[in-house]
Amino acid sequence: MAARFLGASSIAAMLMIPAAQQPLDNGDMRYNPGVTLPDEAPVIIEDAQPEPIVYDERSRLTRDTGIDLQSCRDFVVCGTDLGIPFTLPDNTTGYLFGDTFAVQGPFLDDLEPGEDRYRAQVFLQSNTTPVKGESIVFTGAAGLPQGEKGEAPEFLGQWHILVNDGVSLPDGSMIISYQHTIEVDDPEDKSWHTDYAGLAWSPDGNHFELIGPRWENSPENDDPYQMWSMQRDGDYIYITSVRSGRRAGPMMLFRVRWDQMLDTTAYTYWNGSDWGEKDLATPILQGKFGEPSLRKLHDGTWALSYADYSSLPKIVTRKIEDPTSGPEGTWSEPKVQVTWRQQPFLYGGFIHPDSTTDNVILMVSAWERQKDDTEHGKLIRYDVSHFIGSL
């Protein structure tokens, strides 16, 4: 989801960002929102490097996408964001990317219409676990013949769909959760507004169909079931969800049997002591959340990550301390993994399924520009990196 920087001059002043690096308004409805700028906690951003290195020892981030990397050469996934990882039926890893370009990123000058090869979402695969200092090597793309290289297509086929997560099912099929946007510049709080959250289904991971059910948003944009993360454990799919637009509010927990995901009446919601009706559900956490990422690690640990927007944005993780408990148990206090000082304009922070408690892998996005004499400014970076830490 490419960021929409809104109210640039006042926000830049609040953050004490030098004038040459003030973020700019996008002014283009086709690009989805990404970074939500903080309400407080000023920071001075150092001079940005025009071409980020692959591994940055200071930030401990390894860049995985960009015009100089394999994702661009083999699949024309050059400028992109998100990179939400989940386990595929063959135990390799799928990565769901947001707004994707054949160039460094959005709003480049001197391009003919369509030359940037914009796609609202793409889906790549990889058969290796990310390690420090080495970019992920991607082996395939949804919509392309198996084993072939080429331009990864827009696999859900609509500009207004923002991918949230994926989950593989025991029968070999998979479900992608998404939010459908109707407004990416809410006049009240500058966040984006969805009309519903929905599901896409694929029998083979290559061709997808948008199917029911839907979770309708409220006119006030405060429904807490709009941005999902999904994790299968046995016969159940466990889901954490929050409001769209990275707005303050509750994080909810609900579940459904994997073979009943298309039946809204089959979902049950955590009420603090048991699973029950949606109307009785209670939050598992309160905050100002970015997209949640829920994963059960191979050692049985339940882990949760998200970008915390309560002050200066940062990626944090939590875990369930009791190894006998499911995701309805007590979550630990948040542990800061990646800060704004490490990576300005960060967002995402999705947990890789190959993570362990001592080697948690997080997919982190950044979109950074500098002000110049052009309408949209000079693009510094728009890419996805992975960070390795511990829970």
Residue-wise pLDDT for 286-318, tens only, equals: 999 999 999 999 999 999 999 999 999 999 999
**pTM value > 0.75:** yes
Helices (H) and strands (E) in the chain, counts: 2, 23
Q: Does residue 9 or residue 243 have the better pLDDT? A: 243
Structure confidence at residue 94 (pLDDT): 99
Burial status of residue 287 (CB atoms within 10 A of its CB: 0-12, 13-18, 19 or more):
middle
Q: What is the mean pLDDT of residues 154-171?
A: 95
Strands 61-63 and 55-56: antiparallel
282 and 271 Cβ atoms separated by less than 8 Å: yes
Structure confidence at residue 198 (pLDDT): 97
Residue 187 has pLDDT above 80, yes or no: no
Structure confidence at residue 181 (pLDDT): 87
Structure confidence at residue 25 (pLDDT): 35
Q: What is the mean pLDDT of residues 16-27?
A: 33
Q: What percentage of the chain exceeds 70 in pLDDT?
A: 83
Q: What is the mean pLDDT of residues 72-98?
A: 98
Structure confidence at residue 125 (pLDDT): 98
Structure confidence at residue 107 (pLDDT): 67
Distance from C-alpha of 214 to C-alpha of 228, rounded to nearest angstrom: 12
Lowest mean pLDDT among 15-19, 136-140, 148-152: 15-19
Distance of CA 255 to the CA centre of its chain: 21
Distance from C-alpha of 122 to C-alpha of 150, rounded to nearest angstrom: 12
Distance from C-alpha of 341 to C-alpha of 143, rounded to nearest angstrom: 38
State the CATH class of domain 8-389: mainly beta
Q: What is the mean pLDDT of residues 166-182?
A: 96
Structure confidence at residue 186 (pLDDT): 52
Residue 21 has pLDDT above 50, yes or no: no
